Amino acid sequence: MQILRTIEELQNIRKTISTNVGFVPTMGALHDGHISLIKKARTENEIVIVSIFVNPTQFLPGEDLDAYPRKDEADKKICELCKVDYLFMPEISTMYSKEEVLIKAPNKSYILEGLARPGHFDGVLQVVLKLFGITQPTNAYFGKKDAQQLSLILQMVKNLFLPINIIPCEIVREKDGLALSSRNIYLSSEQRKDALLISKSLYSAGALIAKGELNATIVKNKILEIMRPLEIEYVAIVDREFNEIDTIELKNTIILVVARFEKTRLLDNIWI
Ligand code: AMP
Please list the pLDDT of the chain residue by residue as tens digits (272 residues).
999 999 999 999 999 999 999 999 999 999 999 999 999 999 999 999 999 999 999 999 999 999 999 999 999 999 999 999 999 999 999 999 999 999 999 988 899 999 999 999 999 999 999 999 999 999 999 999 999 999 999 999 999 999 999 999 999 999 999 999 999 999 999 999 999 999 999 999 999 999 999 999 999 999 999 999 999 999 999 999 999 999 999 999 999 999 999 999 999 999 99
Q: In this structure, is residue 238 part of a structural domain?
A: yes
| 197 in the same domain as 118 | no
Q: In this structure, is residue 50 part of a structural domain?
A: yes
Q: In this structure, is residue 149 part of a structural domain?
A: yes
Whole domain around residue 248: which residue ranges?
187-264
SS3 content of the chain, % helix, strand, coil (to 5): 40, 20, 35
Q: What is the CATH number of the domain that holds 218?
A: 3.30.1300.10
| 193 in the same domain as 81 | no
| 193 in the same domain as 152 | no
Q: In this structure, is residue 179 part of a structural domain?
A: no
Phi, psi of 186 (to 5 degrees): -75, -15
Amino acid identity for residue 137 in this structure: P
Domain final position from 169, 196, 219: 169
Instruction: State the angle between helix axes of 196-210 and 216-226 in degrees (0 to 180), rounded to the nearest 10.
Output: 150
Whole-number Å distance, alpha carbon 212 to ligand 1 midpoint, is 31
Give the number of domains in the chain: 2
pLDDT at 116: 95
Q: In this structure, is residue 178 part of a structural domain?
A: no
User: Which contacts qualify for 243-252: CB closer than 8 Å, 24 or more apart?
Assistant: 244/216, 245/216, 246/215, 246/216, 246/217, 247/214, 247/215, 247/216, 248/209, 248/213, 248/214, 248/215, 248/216, 248/219, 248/272, 249/214, 250/209
| 124 in the same domain as 254 | no
Closest C-alpha among 104, 12, 94 to residue 55: 94
Whole-number Å distance, alpha carbon 211 to ligand 1 midpoint, is 30
Sheet holding 47-52, edge to edge: 2-4, 86-88, 47-52, 21-26, 139-143, 165-169
Q: In this structure, is residue 228 part of a structural domain?
A: yes
**Taking CB atoms and a 6 Å cutoff, what residues make up the pocket around ligand 1?**
26-27, 33-34, 36-37, 142-143, 145-146, 169, 171-172, 179-182
Pairing of strands 2-4, 21-26: unpaired
Q: In this structure, is residue 180 part of a structural domain?
A: no
CA distances from 48 to 16, 95, 146, 200 (A): 14, 20, 22, 35
Whole-number Å distance, alpha carbon 14 to ligand 1 midpoint, is 24
pLDDT at 108: 83
Q: In this structure, is residue 74 part of a structural domain?
A: yes
pLDDT digits (tens, 9 = 90+) for 93-143: 999 999 999 999 998 889 999 999 999 999 999 999 999 999 999 999 999
| 158 in the same domain as 68 | yes
| 104 in the same domain as 14 | yes
Nearest CA to ligand 1 atom 7: 26
